[in-house]
């Protein structure tokens, strides 16, 4: 908004301008240069009195006295008289046309560059000193990082693999035998409930087929019993699934709580807080705030619980169905899995390259987002200068490419999803097994 106001000032070059908030975001040197440029273009500037840096650029100052009995309540003060006969600020006549405006601006900028080449230390702004100070701080930090070893490097040296780091986190919550015993009880109950869940799921699959067989045979009583059994099993199975989730979450919640207590106790016992207060002690590694790491334990345990729940259902049902698969198919059971994988790879070779399609779509969307963000950042100057048609000609082709790519890849996306579901979804395993067993029975 301030840049747009300054651009309007230079574009219209009026007789006078009120410069208040449009210069609050620039430094003192740039603010003086802006007033010098306004004087060069013949523009009289009005500002507020709480900006004393710009007082030398003005001839008069209007003050509100508030004394209505003595006058109108305001007073016009001559700043040159207060400064002891300071010379009047030189102001050139107003520009005639735009060509003269550009010419004066170029001359002024050329003079400003020559003056900036011989700028002394006293003319530097606060931002210049902050940049110099930040460069020194960056150099010190880089030199210290070379010598010291960070906490992340120390942890990776102690636990080089992800599995060892996960086991290290779990071991913090399994300090005593009572804690290990409680965790083993919940883990055993989870395994038992997983066996029941897999059995009920298999019975539900068989119940659907049994209901069809009873209907084909005309046995109404058997069909109703199979229907009631198949209708009640999902509710029972859902309740058992919630019990499994509860056991897993409570197990990791207890482990996380014990780990938090243990880490807080170590913080107090090892005087880690005192080491943080004096990090430059010889032989002491540069440490991070331990409270942040302690607060990360609940999130880590929740993530581990979610992974155990997801993998537990898959592995439990596969372990329950695998003996049935081997009994029904005998030695051909491994061949079914191998042929399934080989067929899946063959279909992947014939199908379009989904990874390349996804990368192409991501690149097009990123390009459109960059152009759209750029347009949003310069929306007001574009609307002010009337350049909407030009910007639209830049943004519209990118948007059309994104939409066209989505339409072209819709069929490829459907084929990819169907292939993934048909060959990799674990819920297709009972269906494949029953069909293959039926085919062998018919033979």
pLDDT tens by residue, 81-105: 665 555 555 667 877 787 888 888 8
Q: Which two tokens stand for residue 261?
A: 């207590």
Does pLDDT of 282 surpass 50?
no
pLDDT tier for residue 118 given thresholds of 50, 70 and 90: very low
pLDDT tier for residue 201 given thresholds of 50, 70 and 90: confident
Q: What is the mean pLDDT of residues 41-46?
A: 80
Phi/psi-derived region of residue 73, left when phi > 0, alpha when psi is between -120 and 50, beta in every other case: left
Please compute Rg for the chain using Cα positions: 39
Q: What digits encode the pLDDT tens for the residues 296-315?
A: 788 888 888 888 888 888 88
Rounded CA-CA distance 377/382 in Å is 10
Rounded CA-CA distance 111/118 in Å is 11
- pLDDT of amino acid 274: 53
Rounded CA-CA distance 233/223 in Å is 15
For the whole model, what pTM was predicted? Answer: 0.42
- pLDDT of amino acid 42: 82
- pLDDT of amino acid 120: 47
Consecutive H or E run containing 61: strand 60-64
Does pLDDT of 239 surpass 80?
yes
- pLDDT of amino acid 429: 56
- pLDDT of amino acid 182: 87
- pLDDT of amino acid 425: 66
Closest to 334 measured CA to CA, from 343, 322, 346, 344? 322
What is the signed CA dihedral for 240, 241, 242, 245, rounded to 10 degrees? 120
Q: What digits encode the pLDDT tens for the residues 134-183?
A: 565 556 555 555 444 555 666 677 777 777 777 877 888 888 888 888 88
Q: What is the mean pLDDT of residues 100-112?
A: 79
Comparing 57-71, 187-201, 404-418, which segment has the lowest mean pLDDT? 57-71
Rounded CA-CA distance 363/358 in Å is 9
Mean pLDDT of the chain: 74
Q: What digits encode the pLDDT tens for the residues 350-391?
A: 877 888 888 888 889 988 888 888 888 888 777 777 778 888
- pLDDT of amino acid 204: 79
Q: What is the mean pLDDT of residues 12-38?
A: 72
DSSP per-residue codes, 219-276: -HHHHHHHHHHHHHHHHHHHHHHHHHHHHHHHHHHHHHHHHHHHHHHHHHHTTHHHHH
Q: What is the mean pLDDT of residues 47-73?
A: 69
- The percent of residues above 70 in pLDDT, for the chain, comes to 68
- pLDDT of amino acid 16: 78
Closest to 186 measured CA to CA, from 253, 237, 260, 259? 253
What is the signed CA dihedral for 342, 343, 349, 355, rounded to 10 degrees? -90
Q: How many CB atoms lie within 10 A of CB 220?
A: 10
- pLDDT of amino acid 416: 82
- pLDDT of amino acid 347: 80
Rounded CA-CA distance 39/36 in Å is 5
- pLDDT of amino acid 146: 44
- pLDDT of amino acid 287: 53
- pLDDT of amino acid 84: 57
Comparing 104-118, 340-354, 373-387, which segment has the lowest mean pLDDT? 104-118
DSSP per-residue codes, 151-165: HHHHHHHHS-SHHHH
- pLDDT of amino acid 122: 45
């Amino acid at each position: 908004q301030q840049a747009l106001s300054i651009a309007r000032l230079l574009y219209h070059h009026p007789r006078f301008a009120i410069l208040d908030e449009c210069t609050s975001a620039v430094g003192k040197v740039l603010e003086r240069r802006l007033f010098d440029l306004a004087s060069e273009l013949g523009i009289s500037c009005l500002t507020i009195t709480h900006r004393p840096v710009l007082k030398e650029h003005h001839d008069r100052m209007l003050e509100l006295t508030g004394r209505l009995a003595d006058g109108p309540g305001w007073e016009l003060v001559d700043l040159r008289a207060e400064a002891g006969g300071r010379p009047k600020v030189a102001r050139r006549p107003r520009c005639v046309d735009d060509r003269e405006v550009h010419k004066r601006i170029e001359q002024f900028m050329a003079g400003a560059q020559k003056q900036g080449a011989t700028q002394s230390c006293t003319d530097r702004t606060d931002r210049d000193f902050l940049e110099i100070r930040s460069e020194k701080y960056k150099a010190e930090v880089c030199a210290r990082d070379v010598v010291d070893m960070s906490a992340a490097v120390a942890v990776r040296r102690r636990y080089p693999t992800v599995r060892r780091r996960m086991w290290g986190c779990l071991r913090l919550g399994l300090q005593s035998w009572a804690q290990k015993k409680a965790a083993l009880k919940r883990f055993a109950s989870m395994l038992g409930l997983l066996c029941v869940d897999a059995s009920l799921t298999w019975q539900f699959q068989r119940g659907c087929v049994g209901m069809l067989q009873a209907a084909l045979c005309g046995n109404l009583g058997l069909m109703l019993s199979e229907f009631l059994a198949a209708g009640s099993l999902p509710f029972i199975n859902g309740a058992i699934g919630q019990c499994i989730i509860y056991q897993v979450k409570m197990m990791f919640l207890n482990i996380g709580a014990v780990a938090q207590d243990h880490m807080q106790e170590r913080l107090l016992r090892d005087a880690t807080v005192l080491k943080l207060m004096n990090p430059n002690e010889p032989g002491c590694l540069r440490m991070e705030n331990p409270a942040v790491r302690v607060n990360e334990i609940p999130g880590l345990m929740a993530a581990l619980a979610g992974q155990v729940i997801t993998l537990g259902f898959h592995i439990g049902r596969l372990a329950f169905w695998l003996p049935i698969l081997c009994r029904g198919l005998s030695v051909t059971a491994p061949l079914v899995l191998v042929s399934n994988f080989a067929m899946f790879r063959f279909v992947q070779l014939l199908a379009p390259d989904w990874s390349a399609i996804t990368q192409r779509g991501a690149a097009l969307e990123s390009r459109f987002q960059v152009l759209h963000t750029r347009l949003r950042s310069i929306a007001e100057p574009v609307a002010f200068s009337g350049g909407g048609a030009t910007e639209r000609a830049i943004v519209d082709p990118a948007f059309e490419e994104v939409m066209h790519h989505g339409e072209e890849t819709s069929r490829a996306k459907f084929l990819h999803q169907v292939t993934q579901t048909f060959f990799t979804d674990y819920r297709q395993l009972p269906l494949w097994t029953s069909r293959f067993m039926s085919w062998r029975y018919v033979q």
